[in-house]
Amino acid sequence: MTWLVVGTDAVLGVFALMFAWLWLGFRLRAVLAGAGVVVAYAISEVIKLVVQEERPCRGAPSLADCPEPGDWSFPSNHSVIAGASAVAIWALHRTLGWVAAVCAVAAAASRVVVGVHYVHDVVAGLLLGALVSWVIAVLSKKRNRDVVLERVR
């Protein structure tokens, strides 16, 4: 097992550490941001069941073990989680958001490099995760603003 194979999963732990640190300062918004990641993942699982695209490692050698048949390729769940996490972290902390964005692109690229996804799988995953997370961030920000305005009245 190469460092690339370990790194492709380890980067998800980096996102978890970032969320834990942000939770200390942003409690409710961090929970909502994390919920966006879960929602994005759930949507990607539904898409996988509809599309049912075979993985590239089924017909070619790969650095990573090929997931079991029925674990479809499109979209990449790692990329969905990475894209959603990066946008959620960006919404809470801009500087850490830059780090998360770089990690997200690296996580997505690593899935192609180790041979378990096609490029379009990871691009779609990043975009799906980012979009879902952005919508939830906008809605939570609007909700927070409405609560503050109501308290002022």
What DSSP string runs through 51-120? H-PPPGGGTS--SSPPPPTT---SS-HHHHHHHHHHHHHHHH-HHHHHHHHHHHHHHHHHHHHTTSS-HH
Q: Is the peptide bond before 61 cis (omega within 30 degrees of 0)?
A: no
Question: So where are the chain's domains?
Answer: 3-152
CA distance 48 to 71: 8
Helices (H) and strands (E) in the chain, counts: 4, 0
**Tens-binned pLDDT, residue by residue, of the chain (153 aa):** 566 667 667 777 777 777 677 766 666 666 777 788 889 999 999 999 999 999 998 888 888 888 888 889 999 999 999 999 999 889 888 888 899 999 999 999 999 999 999 999 999 999 999 999 999 888 877 665 544 444 444
> Residues 110-123, buried b or exposed e (16+ Cβ, 10 A)?
bbbbbbbbbeebbb
Instruction: Assess contact for 30 and 101: CB atoms under 8 A.
Output: no
- What is the pTM (predicted TM-score) of this model? 0.77
What DSSP designation does 2 have?
-
